Structure 1
């Protein structure tokens, strides 16, 4: 299906990945990249498009939405890639009266094939106008997960806020103690090597990206502060040698997780055996 698409912020990593995948799987798509220099004359790249995707840092998203909207042609689908969804979706719906959808690719810019990669979709307005996009993405293997913007952001507070903050702190502490990672790896179990690789993966990427993600909104910052206080409380129990409380807490979490704990053990074993 022939479609004209513009990626605003397309020179960034996610924009480049999108252009590459679209070119590979949808040769009928005409993809235009809109960079910072194009603001000198934005209309030629933004008008008469079927889809415009906002792919810029979180803190710039609302500003860019407001700047883009006046140049959109009637019927153009306006979408964004921001890893928070409620505020950008509200901003798009407020600024633009046409079709709107919030997208969050749950993967990084290094993805080369779409097989089972998840894209969260937060419906905005005129869903029938962007059904072609979702159908095309699903047809090449992407897993489309519909979710309200609020539910998405609540989940991402843990997935991106708490999880990334925990990994960030572990990296900081390794540096503080000046741990020789190469020596640790020689004695590390496969599971611990995997955990260290996760730490290394985070710090191999841009610090601004993770600062934006972890501090993207007040709810995440508040949750990080609550998590830090919770860790400190439990650390006091460890410092006192309170094994009874530790064991009881451990049992309660295991019971709360139900079947997931055993499934996670088996799944992680499978991943380790593949290596």
Structure 2
């Protein structure tokens, strides 16, 4: 096995689902990994971070700044500060404002359980121009774990996720809320509608708070909502063939 560029990794929020996943997977890439969970005591932080090459913060975006401020005094020079959040602009701003060392944003585009046949990809975002070398090291780590990394920017990431996660959530919530007004609708469920309900179940019964938080934190969500409303207006006007053809771009590269 090639010696890893990041030999010693600490994971804050190691008791969460993603933190626990990386606590298990990163050692398989040859790294020494230590997990951190609250309470973050001085002795615990000093011991875990003294020789740390990377601190990966696996905490909600709402507490990112507080956690970084707590751990910053214990980070050795050159230690990479990274996150795994579903939004990049705000959390990365919090890291950059509170830490002078190398900052790298990551977003693993998968959960702790990866469905069969799904290629797990990871977005990698250098914090500054000077952090590109650090980003390459993080890239290599995720590549060694078969998490198919790719480089991007915070803006490009958040604009895409405003649709993939944000609009996916808000449109699903609005659509299913509207169906409540239809009398006896549950008697008319078809297989295709059942598939849509099944896809929405976990989002709305188990992950509602998560999706609400990351949707509200995405600076481009309202822009994507407005664009969706524009297309919904076209549908209301009867331009369904136009919309159907445009929607097929996902499966037909010749459509723009």
- Please state which band the TM-score falls in when normalised by the shorter chain: 0.7 to 0.9
Give the structure-1-normalised TM-score.
0.76
Alignment-derived partner of residue 37 in structure 2: 35
The reply to whether residue 131 of structure 1 matches residue 133 of structure 2 is no
What CA distance in whole angstroms lies between the structure 2 residues aligned with 1:15 and 1:174?
Answer: 37
1:18-97 residue pairs with structure 2 within 5 A? 18-23=22-27, 25-26=28-29, 28-39=30-41, 41=43, 42-97=45-100
Which residue of 5, 8, 13 maps to 1:4? 8
Structure 1 or 2, whichever has the larger Rg, is: 1
Encode CA deviations 1:6-42: one digit per residue, 9 max, x unaligned: 111111111111112224x23x322211112124543
What CA distance in whole angstroms lies between the structure 1 residues aligned with 2:229 and 2:153?
Answer: 30
* Preserved contact between residue 102 and residue 123 of structure 1 (Cα < 8 Å): yes
Which residue of 121, 124, 131 maps to 1:121? 124
Q: Structure 2 unaligned runs (5+)?
A: none
C-alpha RMSD of matched pairs (Å):
3.0
* Preserved contact between residue 65 and residue 91 of structure 2 (Cα < 8 Å): yes
* Preserved contact between residue 171 and residue 199 of structure 1 (Cα < 8 Å): no
C-alpha change, 1:234 and 1:104, in structure 2 (3 Å) is same
* Preserved contact between residue 104 and residue 134 of structure 2 (Cα < 8 Å): no
What CA distance in whole angstroms lies between the structure 1 residues aligned with 2:117 and 2:230?
Answer: 38
What CA distance in whole angstroms lies between the structure 2 residues aligned with 1:65 and 1:178?
Answer: 51
The reply to whether residue 165 of structure 1 matches residue 170 of structure 2 is yes
Encode CA deviations 1:54-111: one digit per residue, 9 max, x unaligned: 1111111122222222211011111011111112222222322222111011112223
C-alpha change, 1:18 and 1:114, in structure 2 (3 Å) is farther
What CA distance in whole angstroms lies between the structure 1 residues aligned with 2:228 and 2:246?
Answer: 22
C-alpha change, 1:19 and 1:71, in structure 2 (3 Å) is same
* Preserved contact between residue 231 and residue 243 of structure 2 (Cα < 8 Å): no
> 1:166: Cα distance to partner?
1.6
Alignment-derived partner of residue 250 in structure 2: 260
SS of the residue 1:165 aligns to: helix
What CA distance in whole angstroms lies between the structure 2 residues aligned with 1:174 and 1:43?
Answer: 54
What CA distance in whole angstroms lies between the structure 2 residues aligned with 1:53 and 1:122?
Answer: 14
* Preserved contact between residue 8 and residue 34 of structure 1 (Cα < 8 Å): yes
Higher helix share: 1
C-alpha change, 1:135 and 1:217, in structure 2 (3 Å) is closer
> 1:49: Cα distance to partner?
0.4
What CA distance in whole angstroms lies between the structure 2 residues aligned with 1:193 and 1:96?
Answer: 48
Give the structure-2-normalised TM-score.
0.81
* Preserved contact between residue 117 and residue 143 of structure 1 (Cα < 8 Å): yes
Q: Structure 1 unaligned runs (5+)?
A: 238-244, 264-275
